[in-house]
Amino acid sequence: MKTYNAFSINRIGLLMYRHVFYNLKTYLLSFAALGSILIIISLLNTIGTNYLDKELFETLGKTFLFIGGVMLTSNIFKEISSKHRGWLYMMLPANPSEKILSYWLLTTVAYVVMASLTMVVSSIVLSVFSGLIFKTAFYVFNPFSIAYLNVMLHYCIIQSLFFFGAIFFQKNNFIKTILSVFVFNTILGVIAVIIMFLLFGTAGMDSNNLKLTDDHFFSVTIPPYIAKISYYGLMVPFFVIVSYFKFKEREV
C-alpha cells in the first residue's frame, strides 16, 4: 500500500467523517440523553420553586458535558484496541499525525460545538415546557458567555490528558487515567514536602498548609506564573505530542 507522508487537511477531514459516520447514532443518542436529563431535572426543580432556575440548568449542563467529554475522549481510540478492527484502521491511507489530529479535533472542536448546540436546544425545549406549564419567561442559553467559554477552555486543556490516556491504555482508559493522575500527584506532593523539609527544615514550613513562610518571591511570585504557563500554554501540545509518539509505537 502506498505510504502517505505529505500532510493533508483533506485526509484529516475524511478521517473525521469516517469516525462520525460509524458512531453517529451513538453520539446523537448520548447528546440527546444528556439534554433530556438536563430538561427533566430543571423541570422538577421548577415544580418546587415555580420559576426557571437558569443557574442550575447551566451548572448541571457544564458539569455533565465536561464529564461526558473526557469520557468520550477516553474511548476515542477504542477502534485501535480492537483485535478485529485495529489492523484495518492502521492500514488506512493516512499518516500518524493526520490520524492523531483528526481524533483530537473531534474531541475538542467538534465536541465543543455539539455540546454548545445541546445546551442551546435543551434550553429552548425547557423554556417551551416550562412556559406552557409554569408560565415562566422564555430562556435561551448563550454559548458565547465568558463563563461557558472558560469552562470549555479548561475542558480542552484537561481533555489533552485523557487523550493521552486513551492511547496509552488499552482498556478502562478513563478509570486508569484518573488513577494515574492521583498517584502522580500524590508522589509529586510527597517529593515536594521532602525537598522543602531538607532545604528549609521545620522552621521554614507552615504546618497548616505546607507552604514556605519566609521567601515571598519563591513561594508567591514564580510558582503561579510557571503553573499558568504550563497549564495554559504547554499542557495541550505536550500531551498531543506524546500521544503522537505513543500512537506510532502502537502502530508498529
- Within 10 angstroms of residue 32's Cβ, the number of other Cβ atoms is 13
Single pTM value for the model: 0.86
- Within 10 angstroms of residue 51's Cβ, the number of other Cβ atoms is 13
Phi and psi based region of residue 53 (left: phi greater than 0; alpha: psi -120 to 50; beta: remaining)? beta
What's the sign of the alpha-carbon dihedral 162, 166, 170, 174?
positive
First to last CA, the chain: 15
Report in angstroms the alpha-carbon separations of 48 from 58, 61, 179.
18, 20, 39
Q: pLDDT tens string for the chain (252 positions)? A: 454 667 889 999 999 999 999 999 999 999 999 999 999 999 999 887 888 899 999 999 999 999 999 999 999 998 887 777 777 888 888 899 999 999 999 999 999 999 999 999 999 999 999 988 888 889 999 999 999 999 999 999 999 999 999 999 988 999 999 999 999 889 988 887 788 777 765 544 454 544 444 444 445 545 667 878 888 999 999 999 999 999 988 876
Exposure string for 156-193, b = 16+ CB within 10 A, e = fewer: bbbbbbbbbbbbbbeeebbebbeeeeeeeeeeeeeeee
